[in-house]
Amino acid sequence: MRNIFLFIRRYFNLILFLFLQVISIYLIVHYSRYHNAMFSNVTGQLTGKVNEQFSRVEYYFQLKRTNDSLVKANAKLYNKLKADFNLPDTAVNMLVDSLKIDSLEAHRRYVYYPAKVVYNSVSAQNNFIVLSRGSNQNIRTGMGVIDPNTGVVGVVTDVSADYSVVMSLLHKDSRLNGKLFKTGETGTINWDGKTPNMLSLKDIPKGAKVAKGDTIISSGFSTSIPKGMMVGIVEEAVPDKSSSNYLIRFRSAANFYNLEYVYVIENRQANDIKAILDNVKKKDL
């Protein structure tokens, strides 16, 4: 203890200088938007590179699981190929289709970018995921994220040059829309911060027919997640005595414990939708 006090006494000026320097940097970053943005970008790059190195070791021991998930994803894609279906020819006249496949690119709405997960948290109140893909790889804020089995994961909230941060569904501020697959009722998905992979679907009226085992999908009412993506499976649906709605708890389709690869979804119509909504809001003002 005596040596500690002697050390502090001897280097008191240096310690005081460093302490004041840290406070100065904090004040500059906290109260200046420009410096805050620059600091977030730099720290995002640094932490992203560190997390990427750690993830390489973990990735080596997860190769089998990764291969299994990729096989399942490929199987789903192959099952959607038009060549896999043999439809009867009911046409009276034979026509030659001169439309080139490349010309359909002008009508494409969604583009899927694969990304590797370099950081993932599930035990905090507000959980985030870091991906090794950023603005240099066409990622922007507001893009939706799904796992290889088309389970909804979250939405991109922050982007640096080579990394991006995703607000997981396991975040108390996450507010995506979910839809009952059988009956079509739409509600809000949120997480109570307690059990990972267990979420809630609110605002579903008691008149809806919902039971354990029912499927919840994305509603398509946002520009982030396309309609029909798997969100989860209902575990319980209990009538709320204090309202006219159900209390629905469901298990997420995405397994947040072992995320390794995901797909980031670009909605090419997002800017047009945002622009027309902004015009409507201006007219209301």
pLDDT at 90 over 60: no
Q: How many CB atoms lie within 10 A of CB 159?
A: 22
Mean pLDDT score of the chain, rounded to an integer? 81
What pLDDT was estimated at residue 91?
43
Confidence of residue 64 (pLDDT cuts 50, 70, 90): low
Residue 67 or residue 130, greater confidence: 130
CA distance 88 to 100: 23
Q: Above pLDDT 90, what percent of the chain?
A: 40
The pair phi, psi for residue 267, each rounded to 5°, is: -95, 105
CA distance 275 to 216: 30
Which range, 102-106, 116-120, 278-282, is most confident?
116-120
pLDDT at 38 over 60: yes
Question: Residues 38, 43, 46, CA angle at the centre, nearest 5°?
Answer: 130
What pLDDT was estimated at residue 270?
84
Rounded-to-10 torsion of CA 132, 135, 139, 141:
110
pLDDT at 75 over 60: no
Q: Above pLDDT 70, what percent of the chain?
A: 74
Q: Which two tokens stand for residue 263?
A: 């797909």
Four-residue CA torsion sign, 45, 49, 50, 52? positive
Three-class secondary structure of residue 119 per DSSP = strand
* Backbone torsion region of residue 138, taken as left when φ is above 0, otherwise alpha when ψ lies between -120 and 50, otherwise beta: left
CA distance 61 to 37: 36
Three-class secondary structure of residue 28 per DSSP = helix
What pLDDT was estimated at residue 131?
94
Query: Lowest mean pLDDT: which of 1-10, 18-27, 84-93?
Result: 84-93
Q: How many CB atoms lie within 10 A of CB 141?
A: 13
What pLDDT was estimated at residue 55?
67
Q: Which two tokens stand for residue 159?
A: 């982007």
What are the tens digits of pLDDT across the range 138-181? 999 999 999 988 899 999 999 999 999 999 999 988 989 999 99
What pLDDT was estimated at residue 203?
92
What are the tens digits of pLDDT across the range 229-282? 999 999 999 998 888 999 999 999 999 998 988 999 998 888 888 888 888 877
What pLDDT was estimated at residue 225?
92
What pLDDT was estimated at residue 52?
72
β-pair partners for 216? 180, 232
pLDDT at 98 over 60: no
What are the tens digits of pLDDT across the range 76-85? 664 554 544 4
Q: How many CB atoms lie within 10 A of CB 5?
A: 9
Q: Which two tokens stand for residue 211?
A: 């039971």
Asked if residues 118 and 131 have their Cβ atoms less than 8 Å apart, the reply is yes
All domains in the chain, ordered by first residue: 176-254 (2.40.10.350)
What pLDDT was estimated at residue 176?
92
Where is 126: in which H helix or E strand?
strand 126-131
pLDDT at 107 over 90: no
